[in-house]
């Protein structure tokens, strides 16, 4: 059994929350489009599909930071 202190768990949750929050912000503002491969079909037209995914990642990051990290729960 691996012993993990509460401080390490809280730090890991904060890092995970910040990662998802930043990833969601990048997806929402479409910064990732410069490094993505060119898509030649019309399956994803317009930015709304990306923005909805970005909002989901932003909400996931916020929930990890403010609910899990604040409460210190596992």
Counting Cβ atoms within 10 Å, is residue 17 exposed (0-12), middle (13-18) or buried (19+)? Answer: buried
Rounded to an integer, the average pLDDT of 6-25 is 80
22 in the same domain as 1: yes
49 in the same domain as 32: no
- Total domain count for the chain? 2
23: containing domain: 1-38
pTM (predicted TM-score): 0.48
Q: Which residue has better confidence, 28 or 2?
A: 28
32 in the same domain as 50: no
pLDDT reported for residue 29? 67
48 in the same domain as 31: no
33 in the same domain as 7: yes
Give the DSSP H/E element, type plus range, for residue 6.
helix 6-28
The pLDDT tens digits for 29-74 are 665 555 555 556 556 555 556 666 777 777 777 877 777 666 655 5
């Amino acid at each position: 059994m691996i012993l993990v202190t509460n401080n390490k768990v809280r730090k890991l949750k904060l890092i995970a929350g910040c990662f998802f929050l930043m990833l969601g912000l990048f997806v929402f503002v479409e910064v990732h489009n410069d490094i993505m491969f060119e898509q030649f079909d019309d399956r994803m037209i317009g930015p709304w599909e990306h923005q909805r995914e970005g909002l989901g990642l932003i909400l996931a990051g916020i929930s990890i930071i403010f609910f899990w990290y604040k409460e210190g729960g596992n």
